[in-house]
A and B are shown apart, each in its own frame.
Chain A
């Protein structure tokens, strides 16, 4: 993989100021605004509103970051998957003779390079709030903090990769965002509760993602109606990523530029 291609993909996303600032505002900014409100309530009436940090609140903040981060990841992934086609530059990239699969592959690390710092910044806010505003409550330990950092990167990174592959496949950013948000936040939770679908519901990735985190309360990210082993959850996620990247790469390689 050429590093220059990855840098170019990152640059294309970074220079979309609306995307960058919107992503930062909705993750970091959103957390800070909610924190300001609940901390204000705590300071105004500590007897009714306890400290906003500590282990219990940590899981709530983490769930909030994961949900908003998933939306941001889908938007960034869909943008990365369609930026060249929608701007008309794809044909010029193809006309350089660079293999199309390389053009597609470079989008993944390029987009992750934008998402990861945003999620990391948001997670840093979560950790600071959870540790320094805990009052007398127990705080999350270093091991848990690192474990949950890895998970939130997995959760959002998964959303980005799926969105990138899917958007590259259908070629429309807006449609990809709408379909994936609808799938993740409406259709998937509903399908999880359709009991006659049985074990086939394990193909849904929202439950699989939630299974890999034991801190976030059940129901925050998934209805928890479907049982997964860790192994089956990992397999489900791998299959989703493999299928979405395959169809995205195939379409990139075969579409008329």
Chain B
């Protein structure tokens, strides 16, 4: 297989430097600096219209950037585009095929545009995604899930070091999502890098090691998923009597950032820097309320999630509240 035989020495599968893409006056991708470590499952999340697909299309040469530069598998683009993409498999938005060709024939069409070795990988790829029995059926008879799997098979005939998957879970049922998640983890286990764009934040958190959050064309933050999520604000849900008094008592505590009242529950947002000592903070709140004569019925900490962190940092926070 032509293309890079291994990852570059710096261990970065995708690196963009101040990458910008405009459509007229609209800046779809705005000075993006992205670094995707090799051998990782890298989640790329953002609201609809944030610039995720545009960035992916730029990386793959489907559209041209206006400024900035980037490297894929250590190859500078566009100078070494063909070399780099020889070891990249990609699903862009929903996987599309010639509907009147069979699954096998569709893969042959793509293999024809790759190196000769790609043809040898068609059967193994179909077997890996469980489509061997349906390979000779026309794609127009395939379900959405089967098309997604055929899209993965199409990626695998590149013997990819890097897989770029744009919303691959769209249209899949829960079993299909679980199957794809396991497949992605298996790819990472084999040393491949998976760049996963998705709006399913829970899935990204379950599947990925690293994440970048993009909004309005700009990267807001990137890093290991645990670090990104941990940087968020933990919260505590408190059910108690005399809620007005309780809220007043809690406001005086130094660890509290915000108190919201939702139905019969107080949602208390804790200072982000105290997130790691959350248990001690919760114990202190409980003791303070009880000692002040407030009856606490229930006190529950909310897990810090990528979704919560996402809502905190993107423009969707105001919309969702």
Contact = CB atoms under 8 A, between A and B. Distances in A.
Contact of A92 (B81, B86, B110, B119): B110
A12 B57 CA distance: 25
A89 B62 contact: no
Contacts of B83: 97
B206 interface: no
Interface residues on B, range: 35 or more
Interface in A1-59: 2, 4-5, 7-8, 11-12, 15-17
A12 B82 contact: no
Interface in B88-145: 88, 90, 92, 95-101, 105-106, 108-114, 116, 119
A95 B60 contact: yes
Given A16-B100, A91-B92, A95-B92, A11 B85 contact: no
A101 to B, nearest CB: 12
Nearest to A18: B100
Interface residues on A, range: 20 to 34
Contacts, number: 90
Interface in A94-117: 94-99, 102-103
Given A5-B113, A87-B97, A89-B97, A97 B85 contact: yes
Contact of A8 (B61, B95, B109, B154): B109
Given A4-B111, A7-B112, A97 B81 contact: yes
Contacts of B99: 87
B276 interface: no
A94 B154 CA distance: 13
29 contacts: A2-B112, A4-B119, A8-B109, A8-B112, A8-B113, A12-B98, A12-B101, A15-B101, A15-B105, A88-B96, A89-B97, A92-B90, A92-B95, A95-B60, A95-B61, A95-B90, A96-B110, A96-B113, A97-B3, A97-B84, A97-B88, A97-B114, A98-B82, A98-B114, A102-B113, A256-B57, A256-B62, A257-B61, A257-B62
Given A4-B112, A97-B61, 7 more contacts: A8-B108, A8-B109, A89-B98, A92-B110, A94-B60, A96-B86, A97-B83
